[in-house]
Amino acid sequence: MRRTFGRIASWAASAMGHPAAFIGATVACLVWAISGPLFHYSDTWQLVINTATTVLTFLAVFLIQNSQNRDGAAIQAKLDEILIAVRKARSEFVGIEHLSDEEVEALRADLEEEARQNPGSSRAISPKLKKLLQNRSQ
Block means of pLDDT (10 residues each) for the chain, 138 residues, are 84 90 95 94 94 94 88 89 83 84 86 76 66 66
Q: How many residues does the chain have?
A: 138
Nearest to 90 by CA among 67, 124, 115, 43: 124
Q: Is the pTM of this model over 0.75?
A: no
Count Cβ atoms below 10 Å from residue 63 Cβ, excluding itself: 19
Is residue 71 located within the same domain as residue 43?
A: yes
Domain interval for residue 63: 1-89
Is residue 9 located within the same domain as residue 57?
A: yes
Write down the pLDDT at residue 43.
95
Write down the pLDDT at residue 29.
94
Count of structural domains, the chain: 2
DSSP state of 90: -
Count Cβ atoms below 10 Å from residue 126 Cβ, excluding itself: 14
Write down the pLDDT at residue 137.
54
d(CA 44, CA 41): 8
